[in-house]
Amino acid sequence: MANLNIRSKQERTYQAIVIGSGISGAWAAKEFCDLGVKTLMLERGRNVEHIKDYPTTNLLPYEFPHRNQIPQEIQEANPVISRCYAFREDAMHFFVKDTDHPYVQEKPFDWIRGYQVGGKSLLWARQVQRWSDFDFDGPARDGFAVDWPIRYKDIEKWYSHVEKFAGVSGFKDGIPHLPDGEFLPGYELNVVEKYFAEQLKKHYGNDRHMISARCAHIHGNAEYYAQQGRAMCQNRNLCQRGCPFGGYFSSNSSTIPWALKTGNLTLRPDAVVHSIIYDEEKGKATGVRIIDRLTKETEEFYADVIFVNAAALNTNAILLNSTSNRFPNGLGNDNGLLGKFVAFHNYRARVSGEYEGHSEFTTSGGRPTSGYFPRFRNVYKQETDFLRGYAAGFSASRGVGPDTSGIGMDLKNSLLNPDKYGPWRVGSHMMGETIPKETNFVALDPNQKDEWGMPQLRISVDYDDNDEKMVKDYIEQMTEMFTKAGFTNIQSADSKQAPGLDIHEMGGVRMGKDPKTSLLNANHQLHAVPNVYVTDGASMTSTSTQNPSLTYMAFAARAAHHAVAESKK
């Protein structure tokens, strides 16, 4: 490994370094740049420029040689990524292939990654529900993990801050445990989804809700977003290819170009972070050592403040690999808890059915979101034999298809004139909170290394009894709700999918009040190295049920402002 620090140290010195260009890293970089901070953003993958590097974005279905199916050879070589719903012919160039970046599964874990500028912000499902104090209070009330060192009041204005800039459509639903935000006009539910919402009200009073999921799409007020170069969502539902309109929020369409425009951002793709450099004399971190992805040469960059936003598990890996005399077990890891208390969302179960009613209706056009069923279990007090609860996605749809039983001219006529309306199909999937435990952890493998000489990550994460009970309860409850709503042919399934496929892995560098039991303080600073911040999924003390990205964005913006305020002291 050659060391190629040919440029002067001064040339490689910035005021802030952000590791990672995904949804949280790019937010931190944007805030820094807006505040006049000279920022270096490191990204391990290749550059992906908005629009220019979306090769499939305007392809028509017939332009995909396998009509969007992944060829068998690729599937067999990459079983983990092939299980991801969005790994299709149109977006596979944005996903990490198993074969390129191996890791060690002590227990089955489907680690879904996007190594490129923008990270997984190009591929996310764009659902953005706020947390409330019913979530932040969780660990303290129910006696697991550690108490969050922050509450809703600490993060509320930052939610508003990021929602306004990212563009979030939704309705003010007035649900105490799913706070309303700064919303663009919402997307109306369809006739059967509204019917289900009414049925819930009728049978369960004000306890169970079905709302239009808040999503990070521009719906109305396009003028405000024109200054970011973004336009209205066109309802294409091809988001995973990259959106040429910037209709949904991604680092690539929004925060990165915005930060670049300030002149304060230096974007360095192909920079695989090796470690954070800790200076024992100064008692702080002074920079970041990288390995160039292509040349494999090492280079060092320096800054007063370092943000680690490499995506939850890779943030853990970087800190674990940042060893020194002071921190032999990883940066800031005085208590030995770094990498532990990893958790995720339980997405195992689905309930589906049919509905014969409203048969005179169908839908037209497209929309980027669907229904959201907020948590109702154990919200105000402990009610069940498992801790916490689950939210659920819900949608109703109706297809029109041809009769394909025939052959020849009959079949052809039928194909070209589809008129067979089936019943409405309704479907729901659970999004369960999992309880962080010391036994669910990631660590560096002592022997196996990757192509860049970096230790491979060992992942040891599994479900527990609480998760099994929650799956059972979700299936029972959703089946009951479907039955009461008059849905028929109700089917449930437990996919038993491995953790990770939810793509909501969290923790390992958790926040907390006490340095003995947590890694980060209330401002996202490492207790032991306050000029290093972690504001991605790694910082999560508990997981709640909401899709987590919005919270990471708010964390990143809040922490960046904190870091700037600190530097002025």
Which residues bind to another protein, rule: CB under 8 A? 55-56, 58, 60-67, 69-74, 89, 92-93, 187-191, 193-194, 234-238, 360-367, 404, 407-409, 411-413, 415-417, 419, 421
Q: How far is the CB of 423 from another protein (least distance, A)?
A: 13
Instruction: Select 302 or 372, whichever has its Cβ closest to another protein.
Output: 372
CA distance to 6, 216, 272, 294, 523, per residue, from 3 (Å): 9, 42, 14, 14, 35
Q: Give the residue with the Cβ less far from another protein, 415 or 493.
A: 415
We find the least distance from the C-beta atom of residue 355 to another protein, in angstroms, to be 14
Rounded to the nearest whole angstrom, what is the least distance from the CB of residue 211 to another protein in the complex?
Answer: 14
Residue that has been written with the tokens 């320096």 in this structure: 302
Report phi then psi at 341, rounded to 5.
60, 40
Distance in Å, CB of 124 to another protein, minimum:
20
336/418 with CB nearer another protein: 418
**What three-state secondary structure class fits 248?**
strand
User: Could you tell me the two tokens for 17?
Assistant: 């370094």
In the complex, minimum distance from the CB of residue 413 to another protein, in angstroms, rounded to a whole number = 4
Task: Give the Cα separation of 450 and 441 in Å (integer).
Answer: 20
Q: Which residue in the block uniquely carries the two structure tokens 């659902």?
A: 127
CB of 53 to another protein, least distance (A): 13
Residue closer to another protein, measured from CB, 75 or 160: 75
Q: Collapsing DSSP states into helix, strand and coil, what is residue 74?
A: helix
User: Do 381 and 527 form a contact (C-beta atoms < 8 A)?
Assistant: no
Beta-carbon contacts of 297 under 8 Å, excluding residues fewer than 6 positions away, are 1, 2, 3, 4, 291
Alpha-carbon span 268 to 271, nearest angstrom? 6
Residue 188 or 280 having the CB closest to another protein:
188
Strand partners, 520: 511, 526
* For another protein, the closer CB: 72 or 439: 72
Cα atoms in the Cβ-side hemisphere of radius 13 Å centred on 366? 9
With a CB cutoff of 8 Å and minimum separation 6, the contacts of 224 are none
CA distance 539 to 28: 14
**CA-closest candidate to residue 271, choices 303, 309, 298:** 298
Instruction: Quote the CA–CA distance of 33 and 44 in Å, as a whole number.
Output: 21
Q: Which is nearer to another protein, 415 or 565 (CB)?
A: 415
For another protein, the closer of residues 223 and 360 by Cβ is 360
Q: Taking the complex as a whole, how short is the minimal distance between the CB of residue 59 and another protein, in angstroms? A: 9
CB of 428 to another protein, least distance (A): 17
As a whole number of angstroms, the distance between CA 539 and CA 555 comes to 9
Residue 2 or 416 having the CB closest to another protein? 416
Least distance (Å) from another protein to the CB of residue 201?
A: 18
C-alpha 432/C-alpha 392 separation (Å) is 8
Alpha-carbon span 172 to 272, nearest angstrom: 42
